[in-house]
Amino acid sequence: MTEGNFVDYVKIHVASGKGGQGSAHLRREKFVPKGGPDGGDGGRGGHVVVKGNKNLWTLYHLKFKRHFKAEHGMAGGKQTSTGADGTDVYVEVPLGTVIKNSETGAVLKEITEEGEEFVVAKGGKGGLGNAHFKSATNQTPRYAQPGLPGEEWDLTLELKVLADVGLVGFPNAGKSTLLSVITAAKPKIADYEFTTLKPNLGIVSHRDFQTFVVADIPGIIEGAAEGKGLGHYFLRHIERNSTLLFMIPADAKDIREQYDILLDELKRYNPELLDKQRLIAITKSDMLDDELKLEMKEQLDTDFKGRDYVFISSVAQQGLTELKDRLWTMLNL
C-alpha cells in the first residue's frame, strides 16, 4: 500500500430512513360493506450501520464517498399488512476505527472486532395504522400515524492502526529502513526528516511460519503531545500497539536523553502508553567497532538498569534475527 492510499481520517454524513406512514384503510368487500378499519402499520426506516472488516487496512474507500442515506420505510397497506422496512446501509471500516460525533467530538464507539456492528443513525419508527385506534366509541377511525423521521449526523472516523509492534523514534531514526528489511513493505526512505508522513504496516515472518504485524509510525519531536510537528496525528496510532520498539541511532549525542524525551511525549499524550512492553533498539550499529560497542554497552547497562536493548543495523543486516526473537517472545508472554 502506498502512502497516498493510506487514509486514517475521514468525515462522513449519515442519514437514516423515515418511518412509513400507517394506513387509514377501511375494509370494503362484497357482502361486507362496513368492515371497519384494517389499515396496517408503516415499515421502519433503514438504519445506517458501521461494520468492522478485518480485510480493510485504511479508510481510503470512504475518501470519495462521504454521504450515506438509508431507504425510507414503506407505507402500511390494507388487511393490516405492515409496510416493508427500509433497507439498511452498511459502512465497512477497518478494525481500530473510532467513531466520533463531528459536532461535539464525543466518542461514540470503537470498532475492534471482525463483523462488529454499531448503528450510527437509527431508522424512524413506522406509524401505526388505523386498526390500532378502533374502540367501542370510535369504531371507524379514519386516521393513522405518520412515520417518525430518521436521524442525520456528521461523523468523524479515525483509524488507530492495529499492529503488534509500533516503531517509536525521532525522525530519521531508521524506522522505515528496518520495516523495509524485515517485511515486504516498501515505505518511502530518504535521508531527511519526516520522510514518513503516514503509518506503514508490514508483516514480519518469524520462525516456524509465525507472523506478527509492525507499524512504522511518523517520527516524534519534542512537543508532539501538544500537537507540534505531526503531533496527535501519529500518537493515536501508538495506542493500539501491544509492544513498542524504541529506535535510537548509535550516533545520537545522548541515547538516554533521547529515550527520556520519547517516553515523556508518550506519557504526556496518554500515561497508559507507559504500561506497554518496551524494547530499545540501538540502530545504525554497523558504525561501531567492537571496542566502541563494549563501551556503549557498559554505559547503557548503567543508564537503563536492566531495561532490554539490542544493537541492530538494517543496512548491514546485523542483529535482526535477535530483534525478531526478542519481539516474538514479548508478544507471546
The string of DSSP codes covering 17-75 is: PPPPPPP--B--BTTBTT--B-PPPPPPPPPEEEEE-TT---SGGGSS--EEEPPPPPP
pLDDT of residue 268: 83
What's the one-letter identity of residue 96?
Answer: G
How far, CA to CA in Å, does 138 sit from each of 77, 131, 141, 204, 277? 21, 11, 6, 74, 72
How far, CA to CA in Å, does 147 sit from each of 73, 107, 120? 8, 29, 19
What's the one-letter identity of residue 79?
Answer: Q
Strand partners, 309: 280
CA atoms within 13 Å, Cβ hemisphere of 117: 10
pLDDT of residue 113: 92
CATH class of the region 1-159:
mainly beta
Pick from 175, 190, 163, 198: nearest CA to 323 = 175
Rounded to a whole number of angstroms, the CA Rg of the chain reads: 29
46-78: per-residue pLDDT in tens?
Answer: 999 999 998 887 888 998 899 999 999 999 998
pLDDT of residue 304: 82
CB–CB of 102/11 below 8 Å? yes
CB–CB of 297/175 below 8 Å? no
Does the predicted model carry a pTM greater than 0.75? Answer: no
Mean pLDDT on 265-287: 87
- Determine the CATH number of domain 165-331: 3.40.50.300
Dihedral angle over CA of 201, 202, 203, 206, nearest 10: -130
Buried b (16+ CB within 10 A) or exposed e, 129-158: bbbbbeeeeeeebeebbbbbbbbebebbbb
Phi, psi values for residue 149, rounded to 5°: -70, 160
Mean pLDDT on 124-131: 94
On the question of pLDDT at 11 being above 50, the answer is yes
Q: With bands split at pLDDT 50, 70 and 90, how would you rate the model's confidence at 40? A: very high
Strand partners, 247: 169, 281
The percentage of residues in the chain with a pLDDT greater than 70, rounded to a whole number, is 87
Mean pLDDT on 195-218: 72
Distance CA 174, CA 166 (A): 13
Residue with the three cell numbers 509492534:
165
Domain segments of the chain as ranges: 1-159, 165-331
The x, y and z cell numbers of residue 231, run together, are 503531533
